[in-house]
Amino acid sequence: MMNLNLLFIVISAVWISSELVLLVTKRSQNRGTESADSGSQRILWLAITLSIATGYLAAANRLLPLPGDLHVWRIAGLILIVAGLAVRWTAILALKELFTVDVAIATGQHLVDRGIYRWVRHPSYTGMLVSFLGLGIAFGSLFSVVIILIPTTLAILHRVRIEEAALNTALGAEYALYARRTRRLIPFLFLV
């Protein structure tokens, strides 16, 4: 069986590579669409970068280690990272050409409410949060879990507000009805 540290490196490399590919290929400017991002992409990446760096340092210095066997936590964390990536990519593939890394509404954009979007308005962000939870757990530190999740969640919620304002403007009553019947991030459970 593959060494857990090597598996962690491989999964992390796939995760980072997939995000870099999205950054390069899925920008609204590549499609002639005007961005409504309001700097939320920069805020999100800053929160992610600083949170992960701080979480890693906390784990390296054994701040608030999770109880029990680190190997068990590492496996659980890796499972969550992969599950989060699966949710994120399911959402991205469901949107097809409508997905952009910055907040942008395409001319003639339509509402996507099929597949995973039937239950959650922002499943791509849900997948990100699951992966970040997994990363904190894989680091084996409660401090890492908290320091990765809180700033990242706040940055995502800020971005969601900007995205929903743009979608409300572009799609009007259709989006308002959709928003009433779906959850923002966690199906059946969490309204924000």
- 118 CB burial (10 A radius; 0-12, 13-18, 19+): middle
What does each C-alpha distance from 17 to 9, 22, 106, 126 come to in angstroms? 12, 9, 26, 19
Q: What is the pTM of this model?
A: 0.92
Q: What is the pLDDT of residues 25-38, one digit of tens each?
A: 887 764 556 678 88
- The mean pLDDT value for 62-75 works out to 96
Q: What is the pLDDT of residues 88-139, one digit of tens each?
A: 999 999 999 889 998 988 877 899 999 999 999 999 999 999 999 999 999 9
| pLDDT at position 97 | 87
Q: What is the pLDDT of residues 151-175, one digit of tens each?
A: 999 999 999 999 999 999 999 999 9
Rounded (5°) CA angle 150-8-43: 30
| pLDDT at position 1 | 52
| pLDDT at position 51 | 98
- pLDDT: is 102 or 85 the higher one? 85
Asked whether residue 2 carries a pLDDT value surpassing 70, the answer given is no
- Residue appearing with tokens 């969490």: 190
- 86 pLDDT band, cuts 50/70/90, is very high
- 188 pLDDT band, cuts 50/70/90, is confident
Q: State whether residue 62 is helix, strand or coil.
A: coil
* Mean pLDDT of all residues belonging to the chain: 92
Task: Say if CB 188 and CB 129 are below 8 A apart.
Answer: no
Q: CA-CA distance, 64 to 35, in Å (whole number)? A: 41
Q: Work out the number of other CB atoms within 10 angstroms of the CB of residue 9.
A: 11
